[in-house]
Structure 1
Amino acid sequence: MATTLQLGKDELVAKALRSMQHLLPETTWSTRQKLALTCRILFDAGHDSGLAGQITARAEVPGTYYTQRLGLGFDEISERNLLLVDEDLNVLEGDGMANPANRFHSWIYRARPDVNCIIHTHPLHIAALSMLEVPLMVSHMDICPLFDDCAFLKDWPGIPVGNEEGEIISQALGDKRSILLAHHGQLVACASVEEACVLAALFERAAKMQLLAMAAGEIKPLPPALAREAHDWISTPKRSQVTFAYYARRALKQHADCLDAAD
């Protein structure tokens, strides 16, 4: 006999969250492995743009982080060829050099102690939307994790290799988890690699949906209270973990080599 049909929505949400916490499994990948998986996941999701874009995650020692080697595409990143760098982009472990544009990541990490992973990419639909100098519009349930959580930088400061760009981008981001950079691309700054990967993938889908909707007519806004409810419902660490795990399983079918730690 059913026992939940008389429960209110708040009670059902709380019950579902408790069940997710206890019944959905944890993953055991290391930070390096999750970062390598993220590169392959986002490559498959259309985030590659030659050698543009950077993906970083805080490492164990304060002031250091993992990132990919300049000269390798997202589809070539593996656990073994990631670099460990300091805030000045000096390579502490690994061969080669980091992308000089990683400099603005250091500014964001300093400004946001809650951030443990940053993803900056130039995927097709986000790049196209950025050319219009309009903010991201969240008007669909699926993309509510970005509702009131996506900043907008209308003025392009040029190539992000100087300290000035680090200051500008980190200030424009503020306390939000994502930002649309006009004439440039997207950036997400999140508490975990899983959360950042999932949000970055969602960002590109959101931009594609916005361009399609704009071509068809006027985009109608969501009710703010319901959009915030959906934002909070989807934006939980457990949801990020299980979504990332699904994306990882899918990526590993084509990219098993990304977890090869051997030389």
Structure 2
Amino acid sequence: MAPGAIYEEAVPAGVTGSKTATTSTTSTAAEKEQQLTPLESMAHRANSKPLPKIPTFTDMAAKRQWQLEHMAGCFRVWAREGYAEGISGHISVRDPEFEDRMWINPLGVHYGMLKASDMVCINYMTGEVVGGNMDIPANAAGVQIHSAAHKRRPDVHAVCHAHSIYGRAYSAFAQPLEMLTQDVCNFYNAHSIYRSYGGVALAAEEGDNIAKALGDGKAAILMNHGLLTVGHTVDEAAFQYMVLERSCKVQLLVEAAEANGRLQKKVIGPEEAAYNFKMNSDPETLYFEMQSHLRYEEYLSGGDYKN
């Protein structure tokens, strides 16, 4: 690890996603609009059927299995997105029962082949393998990065990192993304840059520095390395990764088009970017966003990733 790592903290921002209470028995249209969560605001209300939300569980074994199934499903989606790169890339999910444990993918198994039963359970405080797949080790660099993130961010339940093409390309500039589209506003004042490169993260120090650079944000761009996103669910973190990767692609395309001197890019203003962030980046909305991708994967694969 290179000494004197430089990082840029993310600026915390977000919404609770909960309904606004009202003390009146009658409400104006504007007041009713304020009572809606961001996700509810996205749906035309002619259909009163409620949108599916993040499920709750009383049985920890059932919740663990649900998390692992969604984790494997997210990997399958990533495989179709073309994010697999040899042994690189990992997703971790905090165990619902044991707060010092995380589940992570095994080393060298292609994203498109991963199943819920393949995941490895690791005590991220000690590094000890304590359950799950005992036949294949986890990626050592992944364990360092994800352990540090889970230690530093108790609010985070899932961490995603991969070496996808556009994220790697844009990371070479070590610059934050501009608010060029509605989608990238998911990271408005909520992504940071790790402006150091210490090689493959086999030392705990590099993992700690990456986690420190992440700060309280939703994502980090790791210089000369790739992208990292976090979330309250693996669905949220994995979908945010997809948005971040595509936003890097858009930024690169816009920069290339503007380089001819004939075109000039337009950046979304702070007020509009903040509004987009509020409406599009709460945990319920991002969880819901990922469900269509998971349903499509289940349709294509027959849901074998749940085994």
**Which TM-score applies when normalising by structure 2?**
0.77
CA contact (8 A) 1:89 1:100 kept: no
CA contact (8 A) 1:122 1:184 kept: yes
SS state of the match for residue 30, structure 1? helix
Q: Corresponding residue for 2:161?
A: 120
1:192 Cα offset (Å): 1.4
Q: Write the distance in 1 (CA, Å) between the matches of 2:203 and 2:291.
A: 36
Letter in structure 2 aligned against 1:159: V
1:37 Cα offset (Å): 0.7
Q: Corresponding residue for 1:68?
A: 105
1:219 Cα offset (Å): 3.8
* Paired residues, number: 255
Q: Write the distance in 1 (CA, Å) between the matches of 2:287 and 2:175.
A: 31
CA contact (8 A) 1:91 1:98 kept: no
**Identical-residue share of aligned pairs (%):** 24
Deviation digits for residues 5-25 of structure 1 (CA, Å, limit 9, x no counterpart): x955x8536446484697102
Aligned match for 2:117, one of 63, 75, 80? 80
Query: 5 Å matches for 1:155-174?
Result: 155-174=196-215
Q: Write the distance in 2 (CA, Å) between the matches of 1:75 and 1:175.
A: 31
CA contact (8 A) 1:68 1:98 kept: yes
| Cα gap change, 1:78 to 1:237, in 2 (>3 Å) | same
Q: Write the distance in 2 (CA, Å) between the matches of 1:258 and 1:61.
A: 27
CA contact (8 A) 1:27 1:245 kept: no
Q: Corresponding residue for 1:240?
A: 286
Q: Write the distance in 2 (CA, Å) between the matches of 1:27 and 1:259.
A: 20
1:12 aligns to 2:33 (yes or no): yes
| Cα gap change, 1:242 to 1:132, in 2 (>3 Å) | same
Deviation digits for residues 155-182 of structure 1 (CA, Å, limit 9, x no counterpart): 2121111111022101111110100011
1:222 aligns to 2:268 (yes or no): yes
CA contact (8 A) 1:151 1:172 kept: yes
SS state of the match for residue 166, structure 1? helix
Letter in structure 2 aligned against 1:99: N
Letter in structure 2 aligned against 1:12: E
Deviation digits for residues 181-240 of structure 1 (CA, Å, limit 9, x no counterpart): 110000012121111011011011101100100001154322112101101101122212
CA contact (8 A) 2:67 2:234 kept: yes
Q: Corresponding residue for 1:49?
A: 85
Q: Write the distance in 2 (CA, Å) between the matches of 1:155 and 1:260.
A: 38
Letter in structure 1 aligned against 2:33: L
CA contact (8 A) 1:57 1:118 kept: yes
Q: In proportion to residue count, which structure has more helix?
A: 1
CA contact (8 A) 1:70 1:97 kept: yes
Greater Cα offset, 229-238 or 176-185: 229-238
Q: Write the distance in 2 (CA, Å) between the matches of 1:19 and 1:233.
A: 10
| Cα gap change, 1:248 to 1:13, in 2 (>3 Å) | farther
Q: Corresponding residue for 2:60?
A: none
Q: Corresponding residue for 1:23?
A: 50
CA contact (8 A) 2:38 2:285 kept: no
| Cα gap change, 1:240 to 1:258, in 2 (>3 Å) | farther
SS state of the match for residue 254, structure 1? helix
- Structure of larger gyration radius: 2
Q: Corresponding residue for 1:97?
A: 137
CA contact (8 A) 2:69 2:306 kept: no
CA contact (8 A) 2:72 2:306 kept: no
Deviation digits for residues 66-93 of structure 1 (CA, Å, limit 9, x no counterpart): 1111120111111111111111433222
Q: Write the distance in 1 (CA, Å) between the matches of 2:302 and 2:73.
A: 9
In structure 1, stretches of 5+ residues that fail to align are 1-5
Greater Cα offset, 45-54 or 206-215: 45-54
Query: 5 Å matches for 1:244-259?
Result: 244-259=290-305
Q: CA RMSD in A?
A: 2.2
CA contact (8 A) 1:118 1:187 kept: yes
1:134 aligns to 2:175 (yes or no): yes
Query: 5 Å matches for 1:188-203?
Result: 188-203=229-244
**Which TM-score applies when normalising by structure 1?**
0.89
CA contact (8 A) 2:73 2:306 kept: no
Q: Write the distance in 1 (CA, Å) between the matches of 2:39 and 2:114.
A: 36
